[in-house]
Amino acid sequence: MMRFAHGGRFDWKLETRNLKMRRNSRAILLIAILFLALVALNFFFFVDNPELEENEQTGSRSSYRATPYGTLAFYTLLQESGYPVTRLETPYTKLKERGDIGTLLIISPPLDAGFSKEEFDSLTEWVEAGNLLIIIDRDIKVNFNAVVISTQPGNTQSVVRPLQPTLYTRGVNNPAFSSYAKRVKVESQEVTYHLGDSLGAVLADSLAGDGRVVLLTDPFIVANNGIAEGDNVVLALNLLVDRKGGKIAFDEYHHGYGASTSEGMMSYFEGTPVPWMLWQVALIAALVVYSYGRRFARPLPLARERRTTNLEFVSSMANITRLARATDLAMKNVYSEFHKRLCRYSGLPTKTETTRLATVAARRAKIDEGELRRLLMRCEEVAGGRPASDAELLQLVTRVREVESQLKL
């Protein structure tokens, strides 16, 4: 239903403004819905909820993680105790190039870590050169030349105790292992078992060339949720008793840190929501440009070239008027077409009041509003039957054609 105002006349200005407001509101609502959808996608893909996604068997053991299953507490403990700790974020093939690492901790790398043969050969060479390798994992199956290491299930009901007094078991009387701890078997002539039960050992070490390999079958000992239990913190520090020198490096490369091969600024943000957020901002910007670039009014017609000059038209009309003595009819024909074109130019309906039409048209064309209003009103008077001399009629028609030419109507 159409709304009317001002004495029953249709208020085109109010209706046009309301139409624009409704369209703008729809555009804003669309942008808001899209933004909320993108925020929801961010939460879906990037919000890390370790309580729901991780458990004792699948939790990440990275030293960057402050979750219950991470090892940030162990890393911080060593750091604040004065140990020269660092993080290895390159493949094992770069160990010899570093030269400053004397101890490497590999703590439960993911199953899809992807150890290459070149890496393992480099690691073996590095250990046998006189360095210390500490492997903390429930599933170990490696072969360092003369040292063959494997794990097997243990008894969840048995109690782990020191098997003999060694530097690794000093001060460790009641270690708290998880029920998932396995037993390690080392085929080597120089192997020592330190902690275990009747089924086997959970802590062992063996010489490998000039270096040493220490094996612990339960990462719970050094995890954030286990290091404070029982004598675990003492046992965790005892693992480093045989280190010769150099820095203590936590393997973070196989936990997914520092694995980027891309270059430039975007490599700094790789693995974070930042690239995704940049795409979202670009999408929202494109939508805003599209919304503001849409036309909210009817299209304006193309300008048509007049086939006669103003002088020819005025001369013809003057002859017709003089012969027919129909001044009002001539002006009515001229003015009606001029009024229609001027309304179309101003974006107003054809029944718009003269005062309103003069105001809008003059503002858009940047011409004198008072002069245009007087021209329109005088043309209406003459078209309505008011007397006008031939000279005035010629002057009015000439001025109308000048305005049409100026505004390219």
Residues 214-226: tens digit of each pLDDT:
999 999 999 999 9
What is the model's pLDDT at position 266? Answer: 56
Confidence of residue 50 (pLDDT cuts 50, 70, 90): very low
Structure tokens at 388: 């006008």
- Give the number of other Cβ atoms within 10 Å of residue 363's Cβ: 11
pLDDT at 9 over 50: no
pLDDT at 181 over 80: yes
| Distance of alpha carbon 71 from alpha carbon 61, whole angstroms | 6
What is the model's pLDDT at position 354? Answer: 83
Q: What is the pLDDT of residues 183-208, one digit of tens each?
A: 988 888 889 999 988 888 999 999 98
Q: What is the mean pLDDT of residues 288-303?
A: 66
342, exposed or middle or buried, with CB in 10 Å at 0-12, 13-18, 19+? buried
What is the model's pLDDT at position 229? Answer: 92
Q: Are 177 and 202 a contacting pair, CB within 8 Å?
A: yes
Q: What is the mean pLDDT of residues 369-385?
A: 82
What is the model's pLDDT at position 346? Answer: 83
* Lowest-confidence segment of 159-168, 323-332, 397-406 by average pLDDT: 323-332
Q: Report how far apart, in Å, the C-alpha atoms of 291 and of each of 27, 117, 280 are.
A: 6, 56, 16
| Distance of alpha carbon 163 from alpha carbon 198, whole angstroms | 10
| Whole-number average pLDDT of the chain | 79
* Lowest-confidence segment of 64-73, 203-212, 269-278 by average pLDDT: 269-278
Angle at 362 between CA 21 and CA 313, to 5 degrees: 125
What is the model's pLDDT at position 2? Answer: 42
- Token pair 């940049």 in the structure block, residue: 278
* Lowest-confidence segment of 45-49, 88-92, 117-121 by average pLDDT: 45-49
What is the pTM for the complete model shown?
A: 0.56
Structure tokens at 65: 């993680």
Confidence of residue 8 (pLDDT cuts 50, 70, 90): very low
The β-bridge relationship of strands 200-208 and 191-197 is: antiparallel
- Torsional sign, CA 111, 114, 119, 120: positive
Q: What is the mean pLDDT of residues 279-298?
A: 72
Q: What is the pLDDT of residues 245-274, one digit of tens each?
A: 899 999 998 888 875 544 455 555 555 666
| Alpha carbon of residue 348 to chain centroid | 45
Domains observed in the chain: 57-259 (3.40.50.880), 310-407 (no CATH)
Three-state secondary structure string covering the chain: CCCEECCCEECHHHHHHHHHHHHHHHHHHHHHHHHHHHHHHHHHHHCCCHHHHCCCCCCCCCCCCCCCCCCHHHHHHHHHCCCCEEEECCCHHHHHHHCCEEEEEEECCCCCCCCCHHHHHHHHHHHHCCCEEEEECCCCEEEECCEEEEEECCCCCCCCEECCCCCCCCCCCCCCCCCCCCEEEEECCCEEEEEEECCEEEEEEEEECCEEEEEECCHHHCCCCCCCCCCHHHHHHHCCCCCCCCEEEEECHHHCCCCCCCCCHHHHHCCCCHHHHHHHHHHHHHHHHHHHHCCCCCCCCCCCCCCCCHHHHHHHHHHHHHHHCCHHHHHHHHHHHHHHHHHHHHCCCCCCCHHHHHHHHHHHHCCCHHHHHHHHHHHHHHHCCCCCCHHHHHHHHHHHHHHHHHHCC
pLDDT at 233 over 50: yes
Of 244, 251, 52, nearest in space to 137 by CA = 251
- Token pair 């003015």 in the structure block, residue: 335
* Lowest-confidence segment of 35-44, 84-93, 314-323, 400-409 by average pLDDT: 314-323
| Distance of alpha carbon 103 from alpha carbon 85, whole angstroms | 9
Q: What is the mean pLDDT of residues 316-333?
A: 65
Q: What is the pLDDT of residues 338-364, one digit of tens each?
A: 888 888 888 888 888 888 888 888 888
Amino acid at 215: L
Q: Are 96 and 90 a contacting pair, CB within 8 Å?
A: no
- Token pair 């001027």 in the structure block, residue: 342
Residues 6+ apart with CB under 8 A from 291: 24, 27, 30, 31
Q: What is the pLDDT of residues 137-156, one digit of tens each?
A: 988 888 888 788 888 887 76
